Amino acid sequence: MVSAGSSAPQHPFGAGDAQEIERHKRLAARAAAELVQDGMLVGLGTGSTVAYLLEALGERERELGEARFAATSPATERTAQALGLEVRELDELGKLDLAIDGADQVDPQGWLIKGGGAAHTREKIVAASARRFVVIVSAEKLVGALTPPVPLELISFGVQSTLRRLEHAQLRAEHAASAGSERVQRSPDGGLIADYLGPVGDPRELAVSLSTTLGVIEHGLFAPEMVSLILSGSENGVESRPGAKAETP
């Protein structure tokens, strides 16, 4: 069984609200772009909020001439390169100074759900490779408690047996899938994308349980200790909230 579309939560917003949300994403993204300086090694996330970040970095492309970027998806890589940013393999860059990415949900403790864009495994690797990980969201992503879906990347071998072990998960259909065809969304590295639909409860317990389920490559729960800073855009401007990540040398 394949579920349709993105894992991002559905919001009861109208078109005007949708425009406001875009404006708020852009505010947060532009504030994060100011953290990038010439010579830095920077990880770039994936998604519509990151698209605004790329736009802002592209405007400063000359000023950032010696900065180097690692992308978390082919889409981000293509856009960054088209804007004149120097994209390299993560392993070529080594330890990053900074990584910036969006999120689907952020809870009061700083737990994130990511992976609406099917790139959470690469995003987690890039975030963990950075001294500072900055999250950029519109304020409607700030939630009282995380709710499903939680994106998953699964090994394709024996996927039905992995789904049975997970109990509450289903494969995610590709956006472009035509009616009747059930093509499963894949990560840039070939893993199958699924959504865990059971209760989240304590995110730490769920993260451990998902991580230790055979066949799960990675899940979209990001612990507060991964996050340095959360920038949320709203009608009041950009609010900045520290995460629980300790500064690393």
C-alpha 86/C-alpha 153 separation (Å) is 28
Total residues at the site for ligand 5RP (CB under 6 A)? 18
Q: What share of the chain is helix, strand, coil (3-state, %, to 5)?
A: 30, 25, 45
User: Would you say how long the chain is, in residues?
Assistant: 249
Residue 24, interface with ligand 5RP (CB under 6 A)? no
Question: Is 235 labeled as catalytic in the residue annotation?
Answer: no
Q: If we measure between CA atoms, which residue out of 221, 204, 57, 49 comes closest to residue 139?
A: 49
Residue 119, interface with ligand 5RP (CB under 6 A)? yes
In the complex, the smallest distance separating the C-beta of residue 220 from ligand 5RP, rounded to whole angstroms, is: 7
C-alpha 44/C-alpha 79 separation (Å) is 11
Of the residues 43, 110, 115, 191, which one makes contact with ligand 5RP according to CB under 6 A: 115
Which residue among 20, 123, 140, 153 is the active-site one?
A: 123
Other CB atoms within a 10 A radius of the CB of residue 18 amount to: 11
Residue recorded with tokens 């389920």: 213
Pattern 121-160, ligand 5RP, x by CB under 6 A: --x-------------------------------------
In the complex, the smallest distance separating the C-beta of residue 51 from ligand 5RP, rounded to whole angstroms, is: 8
Of the residues 33, 41, 43, 49, which one makes contact with ligand 5RP according to CB under 6 A: 49
In the complex, the smallest distance separating the C-beta of residue 152 from ligand 5RP, rounded to whole angstroms, is: 12
Provide the token pair at 7: 């894992």
Residue span binding ligand 5RP (CB under 6 A) among the ranges 90-98, 119-127, 179-187, 211-219: 119-127
Q: Are strands 130-138 and 96-101 parallel, antiparallel or unpaired?
A: parallel
| Residue type at 193 in one-letter notation | I
Provide the token pair at 237: 């401007």
Of the residues 104, 140, 195, 218, which one makes contact with ligand 5RP according to CB under 6 A: 104
Provide the token pair at 183: 């093509």
In the complex, the smallest distance separating the C-beta of residue 223 from ligand 5RP, rounded to whole angstroms, is: 15
Find the binding residues for ligand 5RP in span 4-23 (CB under 6 A): 8
| Residue type at 93 in one-letter notation | L
Whichever of 116 and 203 has its CB closer to ligand 5RP, that residue is 116
Other CB atoms within a 10 A radius of the CB of residue 151 amount to: 29
E strands in 77-228 = 96-101, 105-106, 112-113, 130-138, 150-154, 169-172, 192-196, 216-219, 221-222
Query: Computed from CA positions of residues 86, 87, 92, 98, in that sequence, does the dihedral angle turn out positive or negative?
Result: positive
Pattern 175-214, ligand 5RP, x by CB under 6 A: ----------------------------------------
- Residues near ligand 5RP (CB under 6 A): 8, 45-49, 101-104, 114-120, 123
Q: Which residues are catalytic?
A: 123
